[in-house]
């Protein structure tokens, strides 16, 4: 017999996917499963918000499923043996982001495998905002259908009692994207903000760089960037590299 139709929402813990999930419940859309991929490297507030929304999902009759990579992020980043095309090898996949988004690939594969396990008729909701509709490719995009922009998603989350606080700092006031704290896709303005406002995470970046030969922002290492940020103080904006 064909499985009962499932409606699954992918949630990353950021403002857009969180707004989508909260909106789906408020509008009474069918929602049977919500899937979150835990890389182990998210800001602590992400996990707090995931646990908070879990309670609302359970009351709505929706199961929160937490997926994890087969290997811990740090094992993949620092320890796994990588064979190169020239026959040489090294240990660790190094920084994730830029041209080598290895954890993103693992996340997408794991989530797609889970959705497929729900049956061919499963409906997957993706949290892409209306002002990013150029990224839409098939599937179901409720935020685009509702016309909710990224700004509106953030304000909606705030109104629902969700925020992204780390040490008294609202992350969306200093970062464009609240992704993994070690993601190398962060721009110089964001990295400068982390250095000055989130020293606990900057210390973690320094520790990782001490094990990784590859520069975080080629040709600059985390230590190089720190030197630049110290010299420039709290100056706003992007810097030439």
**Tell me: the pLDDT tens digits for 54-106?**
999 999 999 999 999 988 999 999 998 888 888 888 888 999 998 888 899 99
pLDDT class for 241, splitting at 50, 70, 90? very low
Q: Cβ distance 15 to 45 under 8 Å?
A: no
Q: Cβ distance 205 to 157 under 8 Å?
A: no
Which residues, 6+ apart, have CB-to-CB distance to 97 below 8 Å?
A: 183, 184, 185, 186
Task: Output the CA torsion sign for 86, 92, 95, 99.
Answer: positive
Query: How remote is the C-alpha of 206 from its chain's centroid?
Result: 21
Task: Output the CA torsion sign for 129, 133, 135, 136.
Answer: positive
Phi, psi values for residue 138, rounded to 5°: 65, -160
Q: Cβ distance 53 to 25 under 8 Å?
A: no
pLDDT class for 2, splitting at 50, 70, 90? very low
Q: Residue 33: which of 122, 160, 146 has the closest Cα?
A: 122
DSSP conformational letter for 64: E
- State both tokens at 90: 């090294």
Kindly report, residue by residue over 115-164, the tens digit of the pLDDT.
Answer: 999 988 899 999 999 998 655 555 689 999 999 999 999 999 999 999 99
Within 10 angstroms of residue 124's Cβ, the number of other Cβ atoms is: 21
Say whether pLDDT at 52 is over 50. Answer: yes
Which residues, 6+ apart, have CB-to-CB distance to 136 below 8 Å?
A: 128, 144
Place of tokens 């420039």: 232
Which residues, 6+ apart, have CB-to-CB distance to 121 below 8 Å?
A: 2, 3, 5, 6
Query: How remote is the C-alpha of 203 from its chain's centroid?
Result: 20
- State both tokens at 82: 């990588």
pLDDT class for 1, splitting at 50, 70, 90? very low
């Amino acid at each position: 017999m064909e499985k009962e139709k499932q409606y699954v929402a992918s949630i990353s813990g950021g403002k857009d996917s969180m707004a989508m999930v909260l909106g789906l419940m408020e509008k009474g859309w069918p929602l049977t499963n919500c899937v979150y991929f835990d890389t182990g490297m998210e800001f602590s507030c992400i996990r707090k918000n995931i646990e908070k929304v879990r309670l609302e999902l359970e009351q709505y009759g929706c199961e929160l499923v937490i997926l994890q990579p087969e290997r811990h992020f740090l094992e993949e980043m620092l320890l796994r043996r990588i064979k190169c095309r020239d026959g040489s090898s090294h240990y660790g996949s190094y920084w994730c982001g830029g041209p080598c988004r290895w954890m993103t690939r693992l996340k997408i594969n794991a989530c797609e495998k889970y959705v497929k396990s729900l049956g061919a008729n499963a409906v997957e909701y993706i949290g892409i905002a209306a002002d990013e509709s150029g990224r839409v490719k098939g599937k179901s995009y409720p935020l685009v259908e509702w016309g909710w922009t990224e700004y509106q998603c953030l304000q909606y989350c705030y109104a629902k009692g969700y925020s992204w606080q780390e040490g008294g700092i609202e992350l969306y006031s200093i970062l464009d994207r609240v992704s993994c704290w070690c993601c190398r896709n962060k721009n110089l303005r964001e990295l400068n903000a982390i250095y000055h406002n989130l020293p606990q995470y900057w210390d973690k970046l320094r520790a990782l760089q001490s094990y990784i030969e590859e520069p975080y922002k080629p040709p600059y290492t985390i230590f190089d960037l720190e030197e630049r940020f110290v010299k420039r103080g709290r100056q706003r904006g992007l810097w030439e590299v």
